[in-house]
Each structure stands twice: as structure tokens, then as C-alpha cells.
Amino acid sequence: QKEVEQNSGPLSVPEGAIASLNCTYSDRGSQSFFWYRQYSGKSPELIMFIYSNGDKEDGRFTAQLNKASQYVSLLIRDSQPSDSATYLCAVTVGYSTLTFGKGTMLLVSP
């Protein structure tokens, strides 16, 4: 049984701060890692994906992967109130199904 664990939050940060969202996974064979953002009442949308150990940056977002520790994180720099949402971590092994964590709620206060 593949498991993806996330702290449910809420994680509260002030506007302009760095938000750090964390995720751990149980299957060492996991190969692909995804971060989705979901606004209340909306469907999930992909923010970033990462396949290799290390950091991957895209604008204000940085995904970090450490396969040895089975850990993936998402950093949001210069957090904005519009970043307030639930962030879902997802993993997959090869072409297998996409397994989601329960999500972390992020609240960015003005």
C-alpha cells in the first residue's frame, strides 16, 4: 500500500514570507512527484513536478526531492494571500496510478 503523508495544517504565514510544505512517501520505488494546488470548491491544478534528487525552481515555487529520505517539499517564496489553498502532494511509480496525500492547507495573511 503506497502512502503519502502530509501535515494537514493549517500552515499560517504572513504575506511576503516563505511557506514550506512537506511530504513523505512510503514506496521507495516512487519515481515521479507532483505538487497540486486546490482552491476551495475547485479542482486540483498542477504547480510543479520533479523526478530527480535536488531542487527545481519555477518562479516563486521550488520543489525539493530527497529520495534517500523519501521526502519531497515545496517552498513558496514571497507568499501572497492568493496562495491560500490546499496543497496536495502526489507520487507515482512508473506508469502506475497517481497516489495523493491528504493535503496541507496554507493560509497567507495580509
Footprint on this chain of another protein (rule: CB under 8 A): 8, 32, 34, 42-46, 49, 88, 90, 92, 95, 97-103
Give the SS3 label for residue 13: strand
Instruction: Give least dist CB 15 to another protein, A.
Output: 27
Strand order across the 71-76 sheet = 4-5, 19-25, 71-76, 61-66, 54-58
- Exposed / middle / buried, residue 97 (Cβ in 10 Å: 0-12, 13-18, 19+): exposed
Q: Would you say 13 or 47 has its CB closer to another protein?
A: 47
Q: Would you say 28 or 51 has its CB closer to another protein?
A: 51
Instruction: Give least dist CB 105 to another protein, A.
Output: 11
